[in-house]
A and B are shown apart, each in its own frame.
Chain A
Amino acid sequence: MTRWGMVIDLDRCTGCQACVVACKQENNVPYSEPNQADRGRRISWISIECRVEGKYPDVKVRYMPILCQHCDHPPCIEVCPTGATYKNNQGIVAQIYPRCIGCRYCANACPYSVKYFNWFAPKWPPEMERMQNPDVSVRPVGVIEKCTFCHHRLMKGSEQARAENREMTAADYTPACVRSCPAQAMFFGDLDDSRSDVSRLAKSQRAYRFMEELGTEPKVVYLKEEK
C-alpha cells in the first residue's frame, strides 16, 4: 500500500526559501498585496517558520519549513461539511475545489495552520498569465487550498510509466519543493516502501513529527539539527 511522505532534514535546511518560491511557481499560487499580507492572508503552501529563543547574546534561531503534513488522521477532513477535503488511497490529503463552500472549518481545525483560504480572487497582470503551469488549476475566490504533494506530478509520473510499460519509480514523482531544495534537505517517497529514502530516514535517531501528540499522524518527518 503506497503512503506518500516527506522527510525534512533541519540540519541541512538553510532557510533559503527556494522551496517556497518553487511551490508557488509550480502550483499557480497567487501572490498577495501588501495590505492583505499585513492581515496574514498571504498564501504560501510551504513556508519557513522561524523561532527566536533567548536573550542577547544567548540567542538561538530555528528554521522549520511547514507545509501540509498529509496526516493519516487529519482533523480537517473530520470537520469538512461537504467532503471537499479527503484523504485519497495513497495517503495524500486532497482538496476538491468545486465542492468547497469556504466555511473555513478545516483551516480552523488544522493545528499546523497550513490550509489557506482565498480571501481575494487571484489575479496576475495579463503579461504573467502565460507563466501559469497548465498542469494545475487556478483556484477561485472563496475556496481553501493547500499543499497537494504536487499530485499532478504523481499523475504525470504514473502515466509516463504506464506509457513506457513499466512500474513507476521514485524518480518519476518528486514534488517541486523537494526538487528545488539546494541544500538537499528534503526527501520524498513511499513511507511503506522499505527501500525508499524516506522510510529509512524516518527511522533515524533525529526523526520526529511535529505535534504528533495531537494524534494527527503526520506523514512529514523532521530530522532535528545535530549538535
Chain B
Amino acid sequence: MKFSRRALLQFSGFTLAGAMLGKGARKWILPFEQPYYATNGMEEWSLSVCRQCPAACGVRVRKMDGWPVSIQGNPDCPISRGRLCVRGLSALQAQYSPSRVVGPLRRSNRNDSNGWEKVKWDDAIRAVSLKLKQIVDKGNARNIAACLENTDGFQKQFLTRFLSQLGSTNIVEYSGLRDPGVGAIANAMMGPAGEPAYDLKNAAYVLSVGTPLLEGWQSPTQMHRWFGEFRQGREQRGKFVQAEDRLSPTAAKADEWVSLRAGSESDFLLGLAGVLVLEDLYDHNFVDQHCAGFDGFRDRILSTYTLDRLRDYTGVPSVVFLRIARELASRHPSLVVAEQMDTTVGTRTLWAAACLNALLGNIGKTGGVLPLQRDREKPNGTAALAEALLAPDRPMEALLLFPGPPLQLFESRQKIQTALEKIPLVVSFSPFLDEKSMLADWILPDCCPLEKWNDVIPDSPEGVPVHAIAPPAIEAIVDTKDVVETVHLLGAQMGEAVASAVSSENSEQLLRTGFEQIYQARRGQIFDTEFAGDWIAQMEAGGWWASQQPDLSSFWEQLIRKGGWWDPYYRYEDWKRILTLPSGRFEFLPDNLQPHLAAPKKNVPGNQSLQARAIGIFSLDHVPLQLQPFLLETVDPLQRKQWHSWAEINPETAKDWKLNDGDEILVQGPRGSLTVSVVLYEGAQPGHLNIAAGPAGIPQASWLTTFGIDIYSCLTTEMDPFLKIPAGARAPVRIQKA
C-alpha cells in the first residue's frame, strides 16, 4: 500500500491531537504505522535555504518518496559552495522535531506551560487581528513591538511593511552572528555604509582580537571554508594570530595564540598602533590622502602606550608587540578583526581596531576592511527591546515575535516573564515551542524552511549582495502557514491601508513580483560555479555586464533552479562610496566617540572570588537547536562535553579551590546563583571561570533532557555607554562545591 502524505496525516489524526508532537501529546496520536523502508526508492533532489542561523546557506535536500532524508550544501551557492556547518547538517532534526507546533495554539494563562489549546487558522487570525486593530484604533500603534531577524529580502520587507503601515515603530532586529556595535563605530569613523565586511579571502595575515572566527561568527560555513583555503588553498600559506584571554576553539587553530589579560583588548590594539607609529611602519599614503585626525591620535597613543607600559596594560611582553606590529606591516595585505557575537567588544575596542586597520592602509582595499555596498539602516538589537520591556512606565501593548535567532534579552527568564505580564498580547510565529513561544499567548506557527519559499539576503562576508531564493522542497507536514501568508491574512482584517501594503497572498506571488527588481538591476548573476562568479566580477570591473538569460521568465526559471542571485564584484577603493563623512576621510577621533575612548577601569576580583563570564556555544545558542540531538552530542570540539553545560577553570585555580575535574559547583553572582560542573582546562586564564551556558533550557518543550543555564539569573552585563549594547555576561563570583 502506498502511503501518500495526506493519507498519513488523516490516519494519525493530527487534526484532533494535542498541542504539539511530543511526549504528552503522543498518547492521542496513533503511532505511524509505516515501516522504515516504506518507499519505492524514488530519489529526488530539491533546493532550499538553511535557516538555522541568519547566514542563509543554500542547501540541496535529498528526498526519498517525497520525504527529506538528507541535507547537503548547494554547490552553486557562494556562501556554502556545497558545504554546511553542524547546524545546517542537523536541520532535518528541526524539520521532524517532536517539539514542532502542529497548528495555531492559544492559551489563557501564560504561566501554564501546558495550557495550550489548538484552534483553527481562521479563528486565530480573526482573534489576533481584532486585538491588534483595537490597539491601532485607540491610536496606540506605537505600543506594538516586534522582533525580527536582521537579514533582508522581499519576505522581510513584507513583514516590515506590515508593521510600519500598522504604525508600529518599535521594531527590533537581531542576528547574533556579529558584533552589534561594529556598524555604529564604522558610521562614526567612515560614514553611513553600514557594517563592514572583511576581505579575509585575500588577506595574507589576519590578527583577530577575541573574534570567534571559527565558532559561528558572521557566516559559519563560509568561515570554515575560508580557513581551509587560507591554510592550504593558496600559493602562500596565510598566518593567523588570535589574541584572547582564553584558548578558544578559534585560538586552538591559530598559528599563534597571544594570551591577553581579560579586558585589555583595546590596550593591545592601541599598543600595536603605537609601535607602527613609533617605528614609522604605518601606511603614509593612506593616512595622508584619506584620513583626518591622525596627529591627535598619534599624540594620544604615543604618550600612553610606551613600550615599557604595554606589559602592564595587557600581560603581553613588549617584544611580542614589536614582532606582531612588524609582521602586520610587512605581510601584505594584513587585516585586524576585533568583534564578538551577539554582544559587543565595546566602543573602545572597535574604535582601536578601526584605527589600526587605517594605519595599515587596508580600508576599502583587497585583503582589508570592506564597507558594505549597500545602504541599510541598522535597527536596534534586543538590548533595546529589553530596555523597553523592563521600563516600568512604557506601555507596551503587543509583542510580535517572528521566527529567527535567539531572543536574548540579557535578563533572567524569570524577570522577562514578569515584565511580559504587563503586555496584554504576545504572539509567536515560531514553528517550535521555543523561548519565544513559551512567552506567548498565541502561536501562529510558521512553516519550517523546507516547507516554504525562502528569500533571504544575509550579510555576506565578502561585502557584496547575495540573495538566496528557493521554492518549497515539500508540503507542510503539519498545519502551519508561511508567515507571509499569515501576515497577509492578518493585514486583510486591519483596514485598507494595511491590507494593500500586504496584498500578496503568499510568498510565491510576492517573489514573482519582487524578483523583477533583480533582473532590472542588470548586474551580478544567478548562482553558478565559482569560476562563473570570478568571470562576472572581472566583466563588471571592466564596466561590462551581459545577461545570461534572454528574458524575464527564463531568468525566473533559472533563478529558482539554482537557488539565488549575487553580485560578486566589489568596488575596491571607491572612496566616494566608502568614506562618506563630510570630511570625505576616515576620522581617527570623531567628535561623537571622543567622550567614550577613555581606558576601561580594571576589574580586579577580590581574593575570594573568580572572574566569571559566559562563553558562546555556536551549535546550541538558541532553544530549537537544543532540541536537536545531533547538536547536543557534538557540542564542543575542545572540551568534548555532550548534553550538559560546563564551566572551564584553570587547573592551578582549581587546586586553590580544591576542585577536581567534573565537580559540581555552586556559583554565586550578583543576581543569583547557578550550578554547573567544572572542566579543568589549561587554556583558561587563572582566576577565571568561563561558563558555557547556552540559553536556559525549556523543560516543558523538550522531549529530550534540557541543556542550558539561565546565565543572566546569576551574572550581570555591562552596557556600553555609547553603543547601548551589552558587553556580555561577566561578573566576579564566589564559588563552592555543591
Chain A positions within 8 Å of B, measured between CB atoms, are: 9, 11-12, 14-18, 20-22, 24-26, 31-34, 37-38, 42, 44, 48, 50, 52, 54-57, 59, 61, 63, 125-134, 138, 179-185, 226-227
Contact = CB atoms under 8 A, between A and B. Distances in A.
Contacts of B127: none
Interface string B201-240: 0000000000000100000110011011101110001000
A26 B70 contact: yes
Interface in B606-650: 619, 629-634, 637-640, 642-644, 650
A184 B36 contact: no
B634 A180 contact: no
B92 A185 contact: no
B221 A131 contact: no
B705 A18 contact: no
A130 B67 contact: yes
A180 B83 contact: yes
A226 B638 contact: no
A61 B639 CA distance: 11
Contact of B86 (A18, A37, A57, A227): A18
B32 interface: yes
30 contacts: A11-B231, A11-B232, A12-B231, A12-B233, A14-B228, A15-B637, A17-B86, A18-B83, A21-B630, A25-B70, A25-B89, A32-B642, A33-B643, A42-B633, A50-B252, A56-B259, A56-B652, A56-B684, A57-B259, A59-B257, A63-B252, A63-B253, A127-B97, A129-B32, A129-B36, A134-B69, A138-B36, A182-B84, A184-B225, A226-B237
B584 interface: no
Contacts of B67: 130-131
A183 B634 contact: no
B252 A15 contact: yes
Interface string B666-681: 0000000000000001
A55 to B, nearest CB: 6
A26 B90 CA distance: 11
Given A130-B32, A182-B228, A184-B225, 13 more contacts: A15-B252, A16-B224, A16-B637, A32-B642, A37-B633, A37-B642, A61-B247, A127-B21, A127-B97, A131-B68, A181-B83, A184-B228, A226-B232
Interface in B49-71: 64, 67-71
A168 B232 CA distance: 28
A141 B292 CA distance: 71
Interface string B239-280: 000000001010111010101000000000000000000000
Given A21-B630, A21-B634, A130 B96 contact: yes
B241 to A, nearest CB: 14
Contacts of B89: 18, 21-22, 25, 180
B633 A31 contact: yes
Contacts of A16: 85-86, 214, 220, 224, 637
A180 B705 contact: no
**Residue with the highest number of chain A CB atoms closer than 10 Å, among B68, B86, B237:** B86
A33 B683 contact: no
B529 to A, nearest CB: 15
Contacts of B257: 57, 59
A131 B686 CA distance: 46
A56 B630 contact: no
A20 B682 contact: no
B519 interface: no
Given A22-B89, A133-B70, A15 B253 contact: yes
Contacts of B98: 125, 127-128
**7 closest Cβ pairs, A-B complex:** A183-B228, A15-B637, A182-B224, A57-B259, A61-B252, A31-B629, A182-B83
A22 to B, nearest CB: 5
A115 to B, nearest CB: 18
A15 B215 CA distance: 10
Nearest to B36: A132
B83 A134 contact: no
A56 B64 contact: no
A182 B225 contact: yes
A29 to B, nearest CB: 9
Contacts of B93: 128, 131
Contacts of B228: 9, 12, 14, 181-185
Nearest to A185: B228
A50 B92 CA distance: 28
A18 B630 contact: no
A34 B705 contact: yes
Interface in B19-54: 21, 26, 31-32, 34, 36-37, 39, 41
Contacts of B221: 182
Contacts of A32: 633, 642
Nearest to A23: B89
B232 A9 contact: yes
A14 B686 contact: no
Given A131-B92, A138-B36, A59 B682 contact: yes
B340 interface: no
B703 interface: yes
A103 to B, nearest CB: 26
A17 B629 CA distance: 14
Nearest to B252: A61
Contacts of B631: 21
B233 A52 contact: no
B480 interface: no
Contacts of A26: 70
B683 A59 contact: yes
Given A55-B682, A182-B225, A183-B228, A14 B36 contact: no
Contact of B683 (A61, A133, A138, A226): A61
Contacts of B630: 21, 24-25, 31
B344 interface: no
B10 to A, nearest CB: 16
A126 B705 contact: no
A128 B232 CA distance: 39
Given A61-B247, A131-B96, A17 B637 contact: yes
